[in-house]
Copies of this chain bind each other. A is one copy, B any other.
Amino acid sequence: MERLPGFRDFFPEPLPPSEVWSAEARQAIFAAWRRVARRYGFREYDGPPLEALELYTAKSGDEIVHQLYHFTDKGERAVALRPEMTPTLARMAAARERGYRKPLKWFAIPQLFRYERQQKGRLREHFQFNADILGESDRAADAELIALLIDALREVGLGVDDFVIRLSSRDAWREFFQAHCPGSAREYDFFQVVDKLGREKPEASAAALRELGTSLEAVRSFIAEGRATPELQGILDNLTARGLGAFVEVDYAVVRGLAYYTGPVYEAFDRRGEFRAIAGGGRYDQLVKLMSGGKVDLPSLGFGLGDVVLTELLRQRGKLPPAPPPAEVFCLVEDEGLRGETLALIQRLREGGCGVEYGLTPMRADKQFKRACESGARFTVKVERQESGGCQARVRDLRTRAESVVAMDAVAQWLSEGGQSL
């Protein structure tokens, strides 16, 4: 029985040679994202992985709709596995924003689904760190969010030599479009052509742009000029004040594929240009209003940072998070008559927060000791009978090989003090 194409199994460490996706590395990345989000004062939310199909059909644009995993459920509802988080967020915020102080600063780490051809860095599911600010139109919020994105990447070990944020502006492109294609209503088609420039053949892009009333040359020279609008300059200045200026550059080749973006947009790339975009985001000032039928007006912005390209980049740079540390203690049972006392001690140690392994079944002493060494534990603990009839624990530091005899009810305390006296 095989898993479905485009989906991942996440194995525990140490990974078998044929596997690359580690559940524990994934959780370490998620933990890093949560730490950074909380430092920035963002609060966590989540929504259902299955939503009504219509949540996506109107607002996200054709590209995402063509790639939807959708079906009709047993209640005859048209439903879809979520391809992105923003529509769910807009639905939730529109319903409950009155209960929260503005602006809302919310994050989530959803798993998302797209039915598309498999490519490098592009599977049928991925996890995405989503952070959004709702209810703030000032561009200071755009800068705050880009700073959060930069720190989310730095927190997993990437630096200024590893990635760059390419900053662009839907407003600048809108001005270009209105100047070059006056009277045209096909602004979104135009953004789509620009978004695909790097992936399409130049002739195809040129034909599409001619059809829209402009030219590939005009678009290329606008990108080449790359002058920051006052709005983008404000964002750059803000990030420079934080000492993050080196992580960002203006690049109008970025425009983003989704229909709902309205202002500054950006994508994160690896510096060497070997991977697809690591993250992308921007403003979507109209979406919450649209989703709430005009009832709630929250100018908003957000980004999504996926786990697939990021993990491939971390792997290439040798920066994948290490496996969590092994259990600290391995308990040896050499006298089966003392297994009950050993179980009692194991329970006490674990209740004190200590990781403890032991052999579940009777085993030769030398085999147990070998297992203890292989487990990576720092200490072995063995319960022994005292001459008085009571029990004591013999603790051994596997690094120094030093041994010590400790009273049964003092082992937890003794280990928590690091056993330095050994």
Residues of A in contact with B (beta carbons under 8 Å apart): 1-5, 7-19, 23-24, 26-27, 34-36, 38-41, 43-52, 54-55, 69, 71-75, 77, 79, 81, 88, 91-92, 96, 98-101, 103, 106, 108, 111, 113, 115, 125, 136, 138, 140-141, 144, 147, 151, 237-238, 241-244, 291, 324, 326-327, 339-341, 343-344, 346-347, 350-351, 353-357, 360-361, 374-375
A72 to B4, CA, bound (A): 12
Copies of this chain: 2
**Contact indicator B115/A74 (Cβ below 8 Å):** yes
**Contact indicator B38/A3 (Cβ below 8 Å):** no
Q: Which residues of B contact A74 (CB under 8 A)?
A: 69, 115
Pick the 8 closest A-B CB pairs, nearest first.
Answer: A16-B99, A12-B43, A71-B71, A7-B48, A241-B340, A242-B347, A10-B46, A41-B357
**Contact indicator A360/B45 (Cβ below 8 Å):** no
A244 to B350, CA, bound (A): 13
Q: Which residue of B lies closest to A18 (CB)?
A: B96
Contact of A8 among B9, B13, B48 (CB under 8 A): B48
Contact of A54 among B1, B16, B50 (CB under 8 A): B1
Q: Which residues of B contact A50 (CB under 8 A)?
A: 4, 7, 69, 81, 113, 125
Q: Which residue of B lies closest to A67 (CB)?
A: B74
**Contact indicator B73/A10 (Cβ below 8 Å):** no
Sample of 8 A–B contacts (CB below 8 Å): A1-B54, A3-B48, A3-B51, A12-B44, A39-B356, A49-B49, A242-B346, A244-B347
